[in-house]
């Protein structure tokens, strides 16, 4: 038991190593740009002030969004999705799978859950003992179910989901701008050091290495940010891009696609003045998401690829005949 706790503590401590690496690189980049470039290398006062002002604006936005991505805790499903003590006892004491399926079906009738497992069953997490809301997944690293889980990111040591996906996107965007600005402003002095026009040895090392890191991070972040922009435009998470969500009528990769503008509003909210600020403005509470299809049988599940859902969908009970055939999803 003590060994197991010790291993878990070591694992948690080791998980902060990537965050520490990023923090050290950012702090060094601040020193190299402000001290070695602006204070030691630049001679024009106006140019020096302009460089410093723009740099500090980008630096604050970058650090702010990174902080929010790290320390905004992922949101777990509400209490109504957890099995009650009576239901848990009845479920665990029942050995017949078909009766267990029926118990889950009875619980799911009261909840607005419309996605299914690959076999058409109710999405149930036997670790957290809850019916999983749409787009919710269990994170093995965080050991809990996360609303609208996108992925677990080691560089922020946190689950990226409903609560912090906007902050993560802004972090990627401002990281790109930060790297691009550094590379663009440092390049001229990189050439001067390279050709021997400037000879300060210590500053030369910092500026050369600063340009190299800025270009390297810019290229890698450009692909990652572009991929997430594509996901947002389709209203998909990373998990949904690799595993198509399944509705009662089958899988549909565009099941939550409401159109480009509404997809943006799902993540950034309706107030455009808040889009570029790391302030929570995403629509909804993470438990229910509008779907693009209207239901023909008073059940808000995907039924017609040509119809679009605009204002949310009313909750309706599932047919008991269909519920009896539902399977249980086990988290592994």
- For residues 10 and 4, is the Cβ–Cβ distance under 8 A? no
- Look at residue 34 in the predicted model and tell me its pLDDT: 96
- Look at residue 119 in the predicted model and tell me its pLDDT: 81
Q: Which of 128, 139, 145, 153 is catalytic?
A: 153
Helix ranges (H only) for the chain are 2-14, 17-31, 45-71, 85-93, 97-108, 165-195, 201-234, 238-242, 260-268, 320-323
- Could you state, in order of their start, the residue ranges of all structural domains in the chain? 5-74+155-242, 79-132
At 237, list the tokens: 């998470």
Using one digit for the tens of pLDDT, what is the confidence trace for 255-291?
999 999 999 999 999 999 999 999 999 999 999 999 9
Annotation marks residue 153 as catalytic: yes
Q: Return the DSSP state at 328.
A: B
- For residues 88 and 95, is the Cβ–Cβ distance under 8 A? no
What's the average pLDDT block by block, 10 residues per block, for the chain (332 residues)?
Answer: 76 93 97 94 92 97 97 94 89 85 87 88 91 95 95 96 97 98 94 80 87 96 97 96 91 93 95 95 94 50 39 37 38 38
| Cα–Cα distance for residue pair 203/36, rounded to 1 Å | 5
- For residues 202 and 36, is the Cβ–Cβ distance under 8 A? yes
Residue 145 three-state SS: strand
The residue written with tokens 């019916």 in the block is 131
- For residues 282 and 268, is the Cβ–Cβ distance under 8 A? yes
- Look at residue 323 in the predicted model and tell me its pLDDT: 36
| Cα–Cα distance for residue pair 81/88, rounded to 1 Å | 12
Q: Nearest 5°: CA angle at 78, between 73 and 84?
A: 135
What Å distances lie between residue 14 and 23, 152, 216, 325, CA to CA? 15, 15, 25, 44
| Cα–Cα distance for residue pair 283/286, rounded to 1 Å | 8
Residues 6+ apart with CB under 8 A from 242: none
Instruction: Give exposure, 259-284, as e/b (b: 16+ Cβ within 10 Å).
Output: eeebbbbbbbbeeeeebeebeebbee
Full-model pTM: 0.85
- Look at residue 306 in the predicted model and tell me its pLDDT: 37
- Look at residue 296 in the predicted model and tell me its pLDDT: 33
- Look at residue 293 in the predicted model and tell me its pLDDT: 66
């Amino acid at each position: 038991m003590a060994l197991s706790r010790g291993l878990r503590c070591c694992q948690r401590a080791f998980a902060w190593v990537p965050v520490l690496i990023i923090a050290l690189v950012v702090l060094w980049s601040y020193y190299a740009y402000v001290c070695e470039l602006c204070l030691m290398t630049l001679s024009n006062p106006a140019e020096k002030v302009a460089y410093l002002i723009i740099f500090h604006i980008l630096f604050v936005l970058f650090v702010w969004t990174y902080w929010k991505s790290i320390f905004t805790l992922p949101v777990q499903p509400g209490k109504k999705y957890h099995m009650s003590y009576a239901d848990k006892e009845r479920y665990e004491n029942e050995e017949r799978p078909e009766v267990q399926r029926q118990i889950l079906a009875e619980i799911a009738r009261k909840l607005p859950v419309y996605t299914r497992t690959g076999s058409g069953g109710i999405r149930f997490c036997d670790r957290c003992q809850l019916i999983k809301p749409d787009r919710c997944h269990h994170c093995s690293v965080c050991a809990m179910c996360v609303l609208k889980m996108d992925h677990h990111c080691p560089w922020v040591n946190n689950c990226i989901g409903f609560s912090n996906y906007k902050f993560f996107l802004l972090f990627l965007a401002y990281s790109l701008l930060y790297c691009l600005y550094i590379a663009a402003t440092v390049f001229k002095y990189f050439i001067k050091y390279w050709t021997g026009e400037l000879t300060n040895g210590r500053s030369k090392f910092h500026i050369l290495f600063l340009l190299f890191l800025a270009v390297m991070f810019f290229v890698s972040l450009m692909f990652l940010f572009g991929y997430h922009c594509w996901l947002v435009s389709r209203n998909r998470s990373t998990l949904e891009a690799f595993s198509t969500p399944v509705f009662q009528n089958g899988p549909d990769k565009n099941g939550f696609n409401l159109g480009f503008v509404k997809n943006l509003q799902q993540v950034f909210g309706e107030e455009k003045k808040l889009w570029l600020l790391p302030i929570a403005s995403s629509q909804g509470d993470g438990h229910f998401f509008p779907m693009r299809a209207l239901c023909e049988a008073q059940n808000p599940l995907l039924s017609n690829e040509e119809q679009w859902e605009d204002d949310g969908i009313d909750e309706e009970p599932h047919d008991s005949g269909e519920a009896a055939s539902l399977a249980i999803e086990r988290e592994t």
